[in-house]
Amino acid sequence: MGRLFGTDGVRGVANADLTAEMALGLSVAAAHVLAEAGTFKGHRPVAVVGRDPRASGEFLEAAVVAGLASAGVDVLRVGVLPTPAVAYLTGALGADLGVMLSASHNPMPDNGIKFFARGGHKLADELEDRIERTYREHASGEPWDRPTGAGVGRVKEYDEGFDKYVAHLVGVLPNRLDGLKVVIDGAHGAAARVSPEAFARAGAEVVTIATEPDGLNINDGCGSTHLEGLRAAVVEHGADLGVAHDGDADRCLAVDAAGEEVDGDQILSVLALGMKEAGTLRGNTVVATVMSNLGFKLAMEREGVELLQTAVGDRYVLEEMKRGGYSLGGEQSGHVIALDHATTGDGTLTGLMLAARVAATGRPLAELAGVMRRLPQVLINVRDVDKTRVGSSARLATAVNQAEKELGETGRVLLRSSGTEPLVRVMVEAADLEQARAVAERLADEVKSALG
């Protein structure tokens, strides 16, 4: 039986892989594990629970709330808010635990559960492992020790969360956005209300697309994984830039005034140089993952900024940031962590900071993003293979070595199993797009043959 927790919580098809019983059981297990770890010592525990607009989030939220309350935890329900909002409110309200129900950029039938520790930080791997072990023990029949009477948790709606979070976002910006026109693609997700409101309060003229969630349309042909609509809207409305979120708004991608994509690496480049100029780029360092484009690395070297690279996953970026006391990190996918203002990737904050840099400099986004040249990068997702054997296949190791020799110093190869989906990712980077594509397709075929 595989590990329930991936790199970003527990995910699966709602009501198939991720059931109400599992959501309830994991919540009870989390409460017991955190109690044993001393998190609740000396006071009555409180949890903040939020979700994205997926239809399945309604019953899963009910299960999580029931599980926590049955374990003696008081619950503040904040409703539909972004993942980083739940993290922020967990810290701002002094809660002992935060729970977010979302599958981020995954399609609507999926859902997930993500736990935050006190302060709004992601749970340590060791605590996740203990929660999973405890859940499995009790799922097999061992009864829970449950409170009764006044010991059960109480459940309250916390309607102030929206305004508190938006005020926080606007309050940390170095300057206002007056004079900018911005198109926002809310992915019909958790940022559908938050992001337009935050940009408007910061002074921008806002145009919105995909901001009418109905529970079924989240990420459907929109958001950070489908930029076509945003590209067209920015050009149509003559906007200065556009920002696109994913379903739970922990990431942000952008497009410039001509409708050209500005990815996470370019966003990090723009923010890093702005923070360096302002003296807020601690350690003169930015943290990214091994998936970052080689052009990003070359740009940071040229601009005198040190780049540290981690394994793929924003949790690993965050760990390195905390370890070294760094203030900026992120992923090519648009997860950007500004640790002075957030405990996790925050797509709305990222978009606001990017727009603030455009407003402060008076320079178009395309010019700012031009600090780095993206080298051609081809990514192929290989499905229906045994992703657990990626690191142990001698055949694949040989194929990768041959590809690396072929590419030389102007390119690179990366094979990795997805932490959130049942697939293997093949990434090839080269100075020439056709070469990158040919090598990637050849390696993808090798993965299918070796792991199929």
Name the nearest CA neighbour of 99 among 42, 153, 144, 173. 153
Predicted TM-score of the model (pTM): 0.89
pLDDT in tens, 384-399: 888 888 888 888 889 9
User: DSSP string covering 243-266, please?
Assistant: EEE-TTSS-EEEE-TTS-EE-HHH
CATH 3.40.120.10 intervals, the chain: 5-159, 164-369
Structure tokens at 309: 């690279």
Which amino acid would we find at residue 128? E
Provide mean pLDDT across the span 398-423: 85
CATH number of 377-451: 3.30.310.50
* Pairing outcome for strands 110-117 and 74-80: unpaired
Residue holding tokens 């959501």? Answer: 23
Structure tokens at 85: 């909002």
User: Can you state the percent helix, strand and coil of the chain, rounding each to 5?
Assistant: 40, 20, 35
Structure tokens at 334: 């648009």
* Continuous segment of H or E residues that includes residue 169: helix 161-171
pLDDT in tens, 341-379: 999 999 999 999 999 999 999 999 999 999 998 888 899
Q: Rounded CA gap, 441 and 452, in Å?
A: 16
Q: Rounded CA gap, 33 and 38, in Å?
A: 9
Q: Rounded CA gap, 225 and 334, in Å?
A: 10
Which amino acid would we find at residue 131? I
Q: Rounded CA gap, 93 and 404, in Å?
A: 50
Four-way CATH pick for 164-369: 1.10.630.10, 3.40.30.10, 3.30.9.10, 3.40.120.10: 3.40.120.10
As a whole number of Å, the CA-based R_g of the chain is 22
The question of whether 292 is a catalytic residue gets the answer: no
Which amino acid would we find at residue 156? K
Residue 410 has pLDDT above 90, yes or no: no
State the virtual CA torsion across 344, 347, 353, 358 in degrees, nearest 10.
150
Q: Count Cα neighbours of 374 within 13 Å in the Cβ-side half-sphere.
A: 19
pLDDT in tens, 86-119: 999 999 999 999 999 999 999 999 999 999 999 9
Do residues 265 and 288 lie in contact, with contact meaning Cβ atoms separated by under 8 Å?
Answer: yes
Q: What pLDDT score does 2 carry?
A: 66
Provide mean pLDDT across the span 377-383: 91
CATH 3.30.310.50 intervals, the chain: 377-451
Q: Which of 27, 56, 102, 104 is catalytic?
A: 104
Class of the CATH domain delimited by 5-159:
alpha beta
Structure tokens at 171: 């309050």
The helix/strand/coil state of 155 is: strand
The count of other CB atoms within 10 Å of the CB of residue 58 is 12
